[in-house]
């Protein structure tokens, strides 16, 4: 859940943010340290895919209901699919065809294809 709240951060940064104020509440074990990204990935692998599918099925539900404005079109629930970017090899041809995301100092290092 915390990874959803801090979607731009890696595992270690999220764990640090979530546990950062526990010492002020008197519920902190000083011997605990933030797990590395590798440790979290290994733990997820040990759990397996089935656990995550079960958690998703148990907690996932539509955000909008029958009376949520814009969520329904007659009896059908409205669905939106967000776009995504794909990094391409940094070549002259790809740069000319697709360009780079951002501008100036914020320009991405490789060309991108944006899907919608």
Secondary structure (3-state) at 35: coil
CA atoms within 13 A on the CB side of 71: 8
Kindly report the backbone phi and psi dihedral angles of residue 86, in degrees, each rounded to the nearest multiple of 5, phi listed first. Answer: -125, 125
Reported as half-sphere exposure (CB side, CA atoms, 13 A), residue 15 has a value of 11
Sequence-separated (6 or more) residues with CB below 8 Å from residue 74:
none
What are the tens digits of pLDDT across the range 51-81? Answer: 888 988 999 888 888 888 888 888 888 887 7
Q: What is the pLDDT of residues 30-54, one digit of tens each?
A: 788 888 878 888 988 898 888 888 9
Q: Is the pTM above the cut of 0.75? A: no
SS3 43: helix
State the pLDDT at residue 58: 92
Burial classification of residue 7, based on how many CB atoms lie within 10 Å of its CB (0-12 exposed, 13-18 middle, 19 or more buried): exposed
103-112 exposure pattern, b = at least 16 Cβ within 10 A, e = fewer: eeeeeeeebb
Q: What is the mean pLDDT of the chain?
A: 84
């Amino acid at each position: 859940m915390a990874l959803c709240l801090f979607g731009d951060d890696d595992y270690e940064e999220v764990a640090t943010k979530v546990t950062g104020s526990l010492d002020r509440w008197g519920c902190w074990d000083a011997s605990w340290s933030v797990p590395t990204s590798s440790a979290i990935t290994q733990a997820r692998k040990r759990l397996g895919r089935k656990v995550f599918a079960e958690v998703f099925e148990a907690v996932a539900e539509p955000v909008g209901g029958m009376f949520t404005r814009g969520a329904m079109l007659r009896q059908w629930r409205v669905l939106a699919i967000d776009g995504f970017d794909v990094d391409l090899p940094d070549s002259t041809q790809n740069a000319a065809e697709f360009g780079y995301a951002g501008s100036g100092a914020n320009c991405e290092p490789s060309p991108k294809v944006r899907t919608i």
